Structure 1
Amino acid sequence: MYADYLAAHPEVVPTPASEVAVECFGDSPELADELVEFIVGGTKRATASLVAGYAADEEPLPKVGAHWVCCDGSGRPRAVLRTWEIRLGPFRSVDERFAWDEGEYDRTLESWLEGHRRAHGREAARLGIEFTEDLEVCFERFSCVWPPELAD
């Protein structure tokens, strides 16, 4: 999918293939399927991940300008995304605009907090740390760039 995007857009400076993440949102195939539908539906243009998760998994933090491939719960590529903003801050620093841009469910700050307390709580447990609202989060905004019918 990423190669198709590059072939159609020779003006794009490609992210090195070794740096193109291919991943699913969420922590289960069912959640990945649910969340990818927000991408293809056009509402989800942001995501938030615990910085401790990147460190534990020995993965670099996302970079502005980098591309990544979003897959559904079965691992099938559904969209190429391009990061345009990164902000690191404590979980508690999320605001209404970010919750809206993340584009899930009713897009309110209240539902974002409820859902992400659960999701980040599961991630913290996986990492063997206690979830608190002081944990550092990578707040990432992105555009959908491929396929053409989904591109922003």
Structure 2
Amino acid sequence: MSLEDLPVVEFAFPGPLRDQLVAAILSGAKTSTSGLVLEYERENQPLPKPGERAAVIDSQGRRVAAIELTEVRVVPVADVDLRHALDEGEGYRSVAEWRAGHESFWHSAGMRAEMGPDFTVTDDTLVVAERFRLVEVG
């Protein structure tokens, strides 16, 4: 299956954060990611499954790589482990740093516009913790 035939996966919103995350994927530094179960539920989308492949797009919407999911876990925010945090490739050195960074994003104006103004992450908020491998660079 070619890069053009794959479904698209987006990391963050277009802009500097997406550019940073895509660069980390392309360099091999980023091999995990986190999303909210609530996002899938709100969009009526099934949770991802190991073996699924997707095209990574950059801030301009170009397909720049393909990744394949190798592991998908649903865990409360409080149970995200250090290995997952480190493998996000964003420079986190602890789970506390991972959580602070992700809460900042999840509580941002862009996410609140999607999730509602009262959305707040708690220890019990369910996260989709995904591991992936880079399979193709476009």
Give 1:70's match in structure 2, choosing from 56, 59, 77: 56
Partner of 1:3: 2
- Is 1:143 matched up with 2:129? no
Name structure 1 gaps, 5 residues minimum: 6-16
Please state how far the C-alpha of 1:96 moved relative to its aligned partner. Answer: 0.7
Task: Tell me the distance in 1 between the aligned counterparts of 2:134 and 2:18.
Answer: 17
Partner of 2:42: 56
Partner of 1:119: 105
Task: Tell me the distance in 1 between the aligned counterparts of 2:95 and 2:66.
Answer: 26
Aligned-pair identity in percent equals 34
Partner of 2:65: 79
Q: Radius of gyration: which is bigger? A: 1
Partner of 1:11: none
Name structure 2 gaps, 5 residues minimum: none
Amino acid at match of 1:82: E
Task: Tell me the distance in 2 between the aligned counterparts of 1:4 and 1:57.
Answer: 24
Which aligned runs of 4 or more in structure 1 are off by greater than 4 angstroms? none
Cα distance change of structure 1 residues 134 and 83 upon mapping to structure 2, 3 Å threshold: same
**Bigger relative contact order, structure 1 or 2 (CA pairs below 8 A, ≥6 apart):** 2
What secondary structure does 2:2 align onto? Answer: helix
Q: State the TM-score, normalizing by the size of structure 1.
A: 0.78
What secondary structure does 1:54 align onto? Answer: helix
What secondary structure does 1:55 align onto? Answer: helix
Aligned length: 134
CA-based RMSD of the aligned residues comes to: 2.1
